[in-house]
Chain A
């Protein structure tokens, strides 16, 4: 009986250690957004645990840093940020966390924008300092799926640096992800190819990469000053241009419609078709993954483009 107790104790201990092993061994990744989190999860699958600090519903410019974010960064082996001043609030969290593995300049810190061919940020030529100021360019680059491949490539390289034992797994996952995106890309492009001459207006300049990626005609933005909503918008001129056919579809984010409800009410009475797109991964069925996000946005845009005819 006594012997059995010891055997039971030993078996329990071994089982506990065995169960804990994958957790201990896995690389802890923290990302500023859900898009980066999903790509990191895909490339590192089986060897990483990934935590995102924000949700796609939140305005990345307006994030209030929280102490609990510090705790997550404290545990991290790799931190991935969007960069280009969009998630600048990460700096104070990283400084407070004091985790030497992920400080800027270390192998555990990855600014995903480094390898991206950047588009210029929108500025009002008459008031260049007014509104969202992004000196490094337009930061919404992840909305071009081919940039998603570049992000994946950077994450793969960084994972191999941190965990060279699983290089072949990361290479295989990256190749599969890149292939899937390229296959999807051909499908997405084909699905909206017939609308390439339809002028699409964006509320904010967050969709420049997306429109360029799919050869959609970018007719500009509603915002006169970047990030400042309907301020300074000449509504009669906007309506005239819509009725003249200068703009057929307006793409926007749901929070922008909520914050600028008066302007959107006016647009209801025009011919413009509204396409509410989601800018970042949200934990819901349709847009819970990076590929799902692009898929959802293409389907929504296609629906608006079709009804604009």
Chain B
């Protein structure tokens, strides 16, 4: 690729990088948060037939600019750059304005963002409990987080415990429509999420959520391809000391598709247990069980994963994950280093 071609292809990245450097230089206080999250990742398959999927190197860089643009109004821009087909692809992963308090307890966000469904889809890679996303999430929402352009309204319900309702309407222009891509909800999407939580004690909390999505499958442009997804999630956290805690999380999701008159229901879920010690070391285990979203392929995706993570500092951690594909009896080992330069925040999930 010529230098001109490279610059044209990476213009968003270069513009954001330039803005970030400029803003940082001009605002030494914390009025504008500028940050970068980098992920280095490698994977090694113990099954010789799968070793063509082995990889090591740069996985993703997220550049973040955040700040208050008006009282109670925050703007967030996240540009992601990641390898694709031997080159680097750049995309605006999130770009939205968030109104924290339109009315008492009512907020809204407008722009491109991760679609609120369940506990997993809104998490950025550095927030995830493990290197890979649960199988059911990858099968029903796509290989990457489902991001879409739209508007979401949220309200904290006037109840004696935490209960938040979020309704959204979106257009997913990122997934594309070729039939050979993994399934991902596409086109106009409507979402709803009810998220509740009860404080069991000063150091324990349980969360229960229900989510729904109505939209289309990837073939909707050429034929009928309706998709409806419903899910429920449960999270329990017990805080034990200065840093240590136990977390148990599970999620069940069902996808209903109707492709050209043929209906199919697919379901899946995961169960995750994670323990963090006082030294910032984490050990986690997850069982995944999910049917594939393809209408003609009801095959299963079952995995058992063991994750070890060490947080070296507030801004730097590494983890190793052993994943055993139970369907093909193929084990693989993944490693990941994540660094965080500057600062950024994410909404409470």
Judge whether A136 and B30 touch: CB under 8 Å.
yes
Judge whether A103 and B72 touch: CB under 8 Å.
yes
B195: A residues at CB distance < 8 A? 67
Bound CA–CA A63/B14 (angstroms): 35
Judge whether B347 and A98 touch: CB under 8 Å.
no
A67's partner among B30, B98, B154, B162 (CB-CB below 8 A) is B162
B237: A residues at CB distance < 8 A? 64, 66
Q: A93-B348, A255-B242 are in contact. List 19 more A-B contacts (CB 8 A).
A: A57-B242, A66-B205, A67-B162, A67-B195, A67-B207, A68-B162, A68-B198, A68-B205, A71-B156, A92-B347, A96-B100, A96-B347, A98-B102, A98-B154, A103-B100, A103-B101, A133-B314, A135-B29, A231-B312
- A interface list, Cβ under 8 A from B: 55, 57-59, 61-62, 64-68, 70-71, 74, 85, 88, 91-100, 103-106, 129-133, 135-136, 225, 227-229, 231, 255, 258-259
B313's partner among A55, A67, A97, A130 (CB-CB below 8 A) is A130
Bound CA–CA A255/B30 (angstroms): 29
A64: B residues at CB distance < 8 A? 237, 239, 245
Judge whether B278 and A258 touch: CB under 8 Å.
yes
Judge whether B243 and A55 touch: CB under 8 Å.
no
Judge whether A95 and B98 touch: CB under 8 Å.
yes
- The distance from the CB of A263 to the nearest CB of chain B, in whole angstroms, is 12
B103: A residues at CB distance < 8 A? 100
Residue of A nearest to B247 (CB): A64
A67 touching B72 in the complex, CB below 8 Å, given contacts A62-B242, A98-B104, A225-B313: no
Bound CA–CA A279/B98 (angstroms): 36
A61's partner among B241, B278, B314 (CB-CB below 8 A) is B314
A55 touching B162 in the complex, CB below 8 Å, given contacts A92-B347, A130-B313: no
A229: B residues at CB distance < 8 A? 279
- B interface list, Cβ under 8 A from A: 28-30, 68, 71-72, 74, 98, 100-107, 154, 156, 161-162, 164, 195-199, 202, 205, 207, 237, 239, 241-243, 245, 278-280, 312-315, 341, 343, 345-348
Bound CA–CA A97/B348 (angstroms): 10
Judge whether A58 and B101 touch: CB under 8 Å.
no
B28: A residues at CB distance < 8 A? 135
A105: B residues at CB distance < 8 A? 71
Judge whether A100 and B104 touch: CB under 8 Å.
yes
B104: A residues at CB distance < 8 A? 98-100
- The distance from the CB of A130 to the nearest CB of chain B, in whole angstroms, is 7
B315: A residues at CB distance < 8 A? 129, 133
A91: B residues at CB distance < 8 A? 345
- The distance from the CB of A88 to the nearest CB of chain B, in whole angstroms, is 7
A255's partner among B100, B196, B243, B348 (CB-CB below 8 A) is B243
Judge whether A258 and B105 touch: CB under 8 Å.
no
What are 20 A-B contacts with C-beta separation under 8 Å?
A: A59-B242, A59-B243, A61-B314, A62-B243, A64-B239, A67-B164, A67-B207, A68-B197, A70-B164, A70-B348, A91-B345, A93-B348, A98-B102, A99-B104, A106-B71, A131-B314, A133-B343, A255-B242, A255-B243, A259-B279
- The distance from the CB of A76 to the nearest CB of chain B, in whole angstroms, is 12
A98 touching B106 in the complex, CB below 8 Å, given contacts A55-B202, A105-B71, A225-B313: yes
B278: A residues at CB distance < 8 A? 255, 258-259
